[in-house]
Amino acid sequence: MDDALSRHTGYSLRRAAGAMIGELAKRLATIDLRVTEATVLLLIGDRRNLTASAIGRTLDIQRANMVPLLNRLEASGLITRQAIDGKSQAIVLTPAGLDRRARAETVTQAFEADLIARVPVSHRDHLLPALDVLWR
Amino acid sequence: MDDALSRHTGYSLRRAAGAMIGELAKRLATIDLRVTEATVLLLIGDRRNLTASAIGRTLDIQRANMVPLLNRLEASGLITRQAIDGKSQAIVLTPAGLDRRARAETVTQAFEADLIARVPVSHRDHLLPALDVLWR
DNA sequence: TATTGTTATACTCTATAACTATA
DNA sequence: TATAGTTATAGAGTATAACAATA
């Protein structure tokens, strides 16, 4: 097709990620979540006493950009901020947050299954390890 | 690490693409190009009589978003618009555009080589075909 | 009728700098 | 001194709607 770009792994990576995120965003919109919001909910449910800064470090989101993100989740009643000490706050899921998180897990797991199903079997087990080395 | 997400191919795809694009953007900035601008230059040099709409279709960029992108390239003296008929315009590289394109090719090829070198040999040949199926 | 180029606008994510307060 | 939370701001990419002119 576009021969100047068809053999570029970087280009394919960009296009694949774009297509994937677009599709996931559509599915998460049905439960009123953005991709980044769902990612935060999934992470929080897994750990305890996570601060905004710690979440940001794990997800590679700037400290400053966590603020409006968490503000929205708090305004939606999905999280609360609980003081750990005078400086840090734990981000905690509310009952509504736990419920939304469960629904996000259902959506993302179905999405994952559909995504992986599209990859030919011969390549399937290579994709995740190959991707991981590019950012971990 | 983040166990709720570590086995998600979609999440790894997003992180890998983000890290990759960030690095590529830095390298292209040294020759005063954005990622999308470089992509357009590489595509144009390969074909002829490409219209803005056709470029957009190939690169999955909305028609409306091509306008400011091409305006910048034109303002930088890298492209010109040549009438094909009363409705369509061919996007053509100027001599400066050809030179910038050659430099973009050098940067992207070095980047590609570095990117692929990081993928373990056992997975290397599987990455591009696995990615391609996710968007082509 | 479908397509091209365009304008306007808004949203999402990301990046940087700076400030306050606390560990 | 380093870190947490925050504010403000800007940039880049993307999405939608609408319009005039032309194929």
Q: For chain B, what percent of residues have pLDDT higher than 70?
A: 99
pLDDT for residue B42 is more than 70? yes
Decide if B37 contacts B72 (C-beta within 8 A): yes
Contacts of B5 in chain A (CB under 8 A): 39, 42-43
B108 CB neighbours in chain A (<8 A) are 8, 10
Q: How far is B133 from chain A (nearest CA, A)?
A: 6
C1’ C6 / CA B5, Å: 43
Average pLDDT (A14-23) is 97
Q: Which strand C bases fall within 7 angstroms of a protein CB? A: 3-9, 12-18, 21-23
CB contact under 8 A, B4 and A45: yes
> Is residue B127 over pLDDT 80?
yes
pLDDT for res B1: 54
Answer for A35: CB within 7 Å of strand C: yes
Cβ-based contacts under 8 A for chains A and B: 155
pLDDT given for residue B59 in this prediction: 97
- Full DSSP string of chain A: --TTTTT-HHHHHHHHHHHHHHHHHHHHHTTT--HHHHHHHHHHHH-SS--HHHHHHHHT--HHHHHHHHHHHHHTTSEEEEESSSS-EEEEE-HHHHHHHHHHHHHHHHHHHHHHHHS-HHHHHHHHHHHHTTT-
pLDDT digits (tens, 9 = 90+) for A54-67: 999 999 999 999 99
Residue A1 has pLDDT above 60, yes or no: no
Closest CB to B12 among A19, A126, A132: A132
**pLDDT, tens digit (0-9, with 9 covering 90-100), for A82-131:** 999 999 999 999 999 999 999 999 999 999 999 999 999 999 999 999 99
Average pLDDT over residues A34-55: 94
Nearest by CB to B10, from A8, A20, A123: name it: A20
Global pTM?
0.95
- Across the range A6-35, mean pLDDT stands at 96
Place of tokens 């003081």: A83
B45 three-class SS: coil
A42 CA from C3 C1′ (Å): 44
Alpha-carbon gap, residue A105 to A113, rounded angstroms: 12
pLDDT recorded at residue B47: 84
| B73-125 residue pLDDT tens | 999 999 999 999 999 999 999 999 999 999 999 999 999 999 999 999 999 99
Residue B48 pLDDT exceeds 90: no
